[in-house]
Amino acid sequence: MKILVFAPHSAIWVHAFPEALIAEALQQGGHEIVYVTCGGVLGRYCVPMAARKLGADAPLSDRRRVCTQCDRCAAMLREEFGLEGGTLRDLIGEEEERVTEHIVGSMTRDTVLTLEKDGVALGRFALYQLMLRRKRIDLEFTESEWDEYLVELRNVLYAWQAGVKILDRECPDRVMVYNGLYSVNRTVCKLAEQRGIQTYFMHAGGNLSNRLQTMLIGKGDTFRFMPHVVSQWPRFAEVPCSGKLLSLVTDHYLELLRGKSVFVYSKAKSAEYFNARAHFGVKPEQKLLVATMGSYDEEIAAEMVGARQHRSVPLFSTQVDWIRAVLEFVARRPDLFLVVRVHPREFPNRRDQTLSQHAQLLRAALQDLPPNVAVNWPSDGLSLYDLADQTDVFLNSWSSVGKEMSLLGLPVVVYSDELIFYPSDLNYLAVTRQGYFDAIEKALADGWSIERARKAYRWGVVEFVRACVFVGDSYPVVERPVRSVPAKVLDRVRRSVDPYGRQRDDCRKRLPQLSAAAQIRTLIESGADSILATAEPGGLEVVAIEEETRVLKSELGQLMMALYPSKELQAASRLYAHFSKLVWQN
């Protein structure tokens, strides 16, 4: 089998190295690998430049520095892994440049959504990174945004022309990319799919404690992959899990509590006890609801490029419509108090400094509120886990909060099973307006549940372990390790002396063969959607329900101690009281 690995972003080593490990595993299985890198064609502006927080208007010297790093990393991977194939630069000549500039020169804002070549929506695909960076929810671009779009469009046009040449010349059986949503990757994948060639994406796993040691591999992109994983949930929902598996899920949530990752938008939990009810003025007789909003940038960007498609219209067409409906409900219920938590990603955060368009709409919508409603803006600096302690029910749009709070045993109500990327049976789901408010009443009546936590833990095992390929035996890197100051200084000195020393070490220290090599080969050869599609529910460690319960109490106990490490915090916490009553019982 011939497999095209389209890898134009080599400067992002934490992507490129695991990608090469997977290519090597396939090559060792007798498959022919065609490994295509950039070669500088995307040098105006690209994903690795954005990853280094360079803007599209960054000095040419800074952008060229990234190109040099990309070329060096690509050359190293080719040499160390024995990967053969050309570059985009080999395929883009004067004619391709002429075609590109002609199309770019004829583009207007009215033709963005209609530009297609070979049945591929190139105009739309070029929107993806821009929509994310600028947090746009419409196409009313400023002049600088339009200039950025044209840069992205050039890249897509190069990928289209080079992709046609590669596919014509190589006629691969499979195409693989790291992240099927990146615009140039999506372009080549769609060209392949037009020819009946199956395409697979790779991506780091979702467990923040070992994210780079695991890889998602599946057809299409994450917006296709995660609904597929959820569709497999019924096969695993009733399978008890061992302590080893549950502890991996706990490790992820402990990392969430640390709040150090750029993928964690909530602040770390306060060291002192935070009384959410007192802070927001919730009366003793009132039940506290917290509505957690999602960010629109990923949703809108995915919709623009055709990755996010809904089978049906959600109960509430927008989050503003949803919040307004909840406000009307709460305004008639003095026995309730609502806190609307705006997603921190909508505002400048540690990952980017952009204010979203949607945030500006929210500021207008969240005015003149009833007396039993408050807003938790990101500028308040409150941790989600500070709010969790005193919350009776969470109301969720599509945030991962829905599974996180369920793991703590707290009830969550959602209004769509398509918007969320986890099973809706972890929460209370309603698809009619009256049913939605009835679900809130039921969630209030049911309260905290260890069985809800059990179900969320089992989902964590599916998401973080069963659906992933483990590459940690050859790439045991841990993000944000706890290191001493001398160790940090020494590491900085080593990088200044040998900028590519770490990369060479990674190559030299990898095992002769991944332990997951056979698993990877079976997936790609079979043409299955994911490794879950052919996995047996008992394929990992399975234990008796009694043993799972014992371990579950221990794992929840770890979370409890991380949340409330002192006697004073434990005495003040309502959530701790639930844990201590039900988790520690014999």
pLDDT at 272: 86
Identify the three-state secondary structure at position 292.
Answer: strand
Q: Read off φ and ψ for residue 33, nearest 5 degrees.
A: -105, 125
Length of the chain: 586
Q: Please, which residues have CB within 8 angstroms of residue 102's CB and are 6 or more apart in sequence?
A: none
Task: Report which of 27, 45, 143 is spatially closest to residue 81, judged by C-alpha positions.
Answer: 27
Task: Report which of 423, 132, 360, 381 is spatially closest to residue 265, judged by C-alpha positions.
Answer: 381
pLDDT at 348: 64
CA distance 316 to 171: 45
Give, in degrees to the nearest 5, the angle at Cα 280 between 274 and 282: 100
pLDDT at 537: 74
pLDDT at 264: 64
| The model scores a pTM over 0.85 | yes
CB 365 within 8 A of CB 261: no
Task: Report which of 198, 162, 175, 200 is spatially closest to residue 3, judged by C-alpha positions.
Answer: 175
Report DSSP state, residue 201: E
Q: Which residue has the tokens 């209370």?
A: 428
544 burial via Cβ count (<10 Å: 0-12, 13-18, 19+): exposed
pLDDT tens per residue across all 586 residues of the chain: 999 999 999 999 999 999 999 999 999 999 999 999 999 999 999 999 999 999 999 999 999 999 999 999 999 999 999 999 999 999 999 999 999 999 999 999 999 999 999 999 999 999 999 999 988 888 999 999 999 999 999 999 999 999 999 999 999 999 999 999 999 999 999 999 999 999 999 999 999 999 999 999 999 999 999 999 999 999 999 999 999 999 999 999 999 988 776 666 677 788 888 999 999 999 999 999 999 998 888 888 999 999 988 888 889 999 999 999 999 999 999 999 999 999 887 776 666 667 677 777 788 778 889 999 999 998 898 999 999 999 999 999 999 999 999 999 999 999 999 999 999 999 999 999 999 999 999 999 999 999 999 999 999 999 999 999 999 999 999 887 777 777 777 778 777 778 899 999 999 999 999 999 999 999 999 999 999 998 877 667 778 999 999 999 999 999 999 999 999 999 999 999 988 887 656 5
CA distance 377 to 112: 34
Q: Please compute Rg for the chain using Cα positions.
A: 25
The CA-based dihedral angle spanning residues 497, 501, 503, 506, taken in that order and rounded to the nearest 10 degrees: -150
Strands 174-178 and 412-414: unpaired
